């Protein structure tokens, strides 16, 4: 595997379900990010991790819970989501948390029923 | 005022023409500027990054930055149908902020 991978690529869940999104980067980067992309809206930064430590939480509702066990893996745990949470969830990584280029994974297309 | 604003699309150009994509930003402390391309149903991929005033060329792509005017643009020369995508401008004033994107359509 190369670059940034995400699983699953598609997910349909009910509002009472609990699911997790997984991201893995094979680039040796130290910073990882979660973004939300809704139709016709700009990419929204959700969380930032640098060297496994959360450095930014962009006022994300608590029904989204991130986890970063090491610099290569990032999870987004989902519970009691709302239909408006349906979107493309993108993971990205960069060498450091700064002005470096971010590289994106393919995304998870989430539908909440 | 939006933090990063791109000219509204869709932008349609004929094959072989120059496509010009524009972006303005509000934070004068912004240090880094990026153009990403996103095909429908795919994730964004980096085309260009630019950090200092002036032009930066890479193949058919030229990024132009004017910090005084808080303006960054992307020119695509000899546009091809495969260039049809949404182009995202991103600016780094402490965190990466994306514009809403401009959809480009290159007609054969």
- pLDDT band of B1, cuts 50, 70, 90: low
The residue in chain A having the minimum alpha-carbon distance to the alpha carbon of residue B89 is A42
Q: Quick one: average pLDDT of A46-60?
A: 92
Give the span between the Cα atoms of B7 and B98, in whole angstroms: 13
Q: Are B104 and B84 in contact (CB under 8 A)?
A: yes
B-chain CB neighbours of A101 within 8 Å are: 34, 46, 49
Q: Are A19 and A78 in contact (CB under 8 A)?
A: yes
Does A89 have pLDDT greater than 80? yes
Contact of B45 with chain A, judged by CB distance below 8 Å, is answered with yes
| Strand, helix or coil for residue A96 | coil
Q: Quick one: average pLDDT of B92-104?
A: 91
- Check A99 against B92: CB less than 8 A apart: yes
What's the pLDDT tens digit per position in B52-90? 999 999 999 999 999 999 999 999 999 999 999 999 999
What's the pLDDT tens digit per position in B40-56? 989 999 999 999 999 99
The H or E element containing residue A63 is none
Q: SS3 string of chain B?
A: CCCEEECCCCEEEECCCCEEEEEEECCCCCCEEEEEEECCCCCCEEEEEECCCEEEEECCEEEEEECCCCEEEEEECCCCHHHCEEEEEEEECCCCEECCCEEEEEEC
């Amino acid at each position: 595997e190369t670059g940034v991978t995400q699983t699953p690529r598609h997910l349909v869940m009910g509002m009472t379900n609990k699911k997790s999104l997984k991201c893995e980067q094979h680039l040796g980067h130290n910073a990882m990010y979660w973004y939300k992309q809704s139709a016709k809206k700009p990419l929204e930064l959700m969380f930032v991790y640098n060297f496994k430590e959360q450095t930014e939480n962009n006022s994300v509702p608590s029904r989204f819970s991130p986890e970063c066990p090491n610099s290569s893996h990032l999870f987004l745990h989902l519970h009691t989501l709302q239909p408006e949470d349906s979107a493309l969830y993108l993971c990205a990584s960069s060498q450091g948390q700064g002005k470096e280029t971010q590289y994106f994974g393919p995304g998870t297309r989430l539908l909440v029923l | 005022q939006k933090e990063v604003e791109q000219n509204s699309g869709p932008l349609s150009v004929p094959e072989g023409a120059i496509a010009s994509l524009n972006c303005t930003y509000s934070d004068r402390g912004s240090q880094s500027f990026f153009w990403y391309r996103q095909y429908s149903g795919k994730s964004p991929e980096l085309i260009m990054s630019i950090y200092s005033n002036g032009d930066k060329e890479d193949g058919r792509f030229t990024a132009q930055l004017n910090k005084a005017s808080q303006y960054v643009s992307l020119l695509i020369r000899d546009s091809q149908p495969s260039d049809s995508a949404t182009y995202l401008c991103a600016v780094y004033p402490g965190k990466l902020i994306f514009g809403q994107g401009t959809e480009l359509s290159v007609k054969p």
